[in-house]
Chains A and B, each alone.
Chain A
Amino acid sequence: NAGVTQTPKFQVLKTGQSMTLQCAQDMNHEYMSWYRQDPGMGLRLIHYSVGAGITDQGEVPNGYNVSRSTTEDFPLRLLSAAPSQTSVYFCASSSRTSGRAGGELFFGEGSRLTVL
């Protein structure tokens, strides 16, 4: 079973470049989210979506865009990469209703991004 699939696993960017991290899930989950993991920090929420066509900001949304045109896909776009965006990014999905989780998060394998 595929679960949550993220691509690419590794990426090196130069400051100012843009890129998209892809996330897809095959569990028919309404809820999808993006987190970043930095040394000494917990997982911090960037953006989330409670269903197709609905997105909202998390704790650290600046410099990132998301869209949710289908239930399966939730891409994360870096508009103009900065060294502060060097991090490991995780996509996660969950079964949820009416914007409440309750259900466990299923994580992708992570994408390690380095911005020079």
Chain B
Amino acid sequence: ILNVEQSPQSLHVQEGDSTNFTCSFPSSNFYALHWYRWETAKSPEALFVMTLNGDEKKKGRISATLNTKEGYSYLYIKGSQPEDSATYLCAFEDSGGGADGLTFGKGTHLIIQP
């Protein structure tokens, strides 16, 4: 079982502030790193799938970076809005050919306070 850790577990941020959180994953057998946004009472939706060391991806106010050599990815949210409140999941996809190759972290629960 691969170890995918997300921190912090939960985060309260004031509306308008920027924030970031971390996903750490094994630095060997890397294939891809996924980020998903999961709103309460809905299903997870993909934000980014990152495959190359040094990748930076952006969607609106949300961006992510990837460091495969040291095994971490950061997700950044600029100018947080109440609609950003959600749980953010990362998932590590390995190239080892094992079952599925997609291991999820437990998520960072983000609450934006007006």
Contact = CB atoms under 8 A, between A and B. Distances in A.
A45 B44 contact: no
A90 interface: yes
Contacts of A56: 99-100
Nearest to B43: A107
Interface string A11-45: 00000000000000000000001010000111111
Given A33-B100, A105-B102, A90 B43 contact: yes
Contacts of B99: 45, 48, 56-59
Given A102-B93, A105-B34, A45 B42 contact: no
Contacts of A90: 43-44
A73 interface: no
A115 B32 CA distance: 36
Interface residues of B, number: 26
Given A41-B106, A43-B89, A101 B101 contact: yes
Given A102-B32, A104-B34, A105-B34, A45 B43 contact: no
Contact-size category for A:
20 to 34
A105 B46 contact: yes
Interface centre among A33, A43, A99, by most chain B C-beta atoms within 10 angstroms, is A43
Interface of B: 1, 4, 31-32, 34, 36, 42-46, 49, 51, 89, 91, 93, 97, 99-107
Interface of A: 33, 35, 40-45, 48, 56-59, 90, 99-110
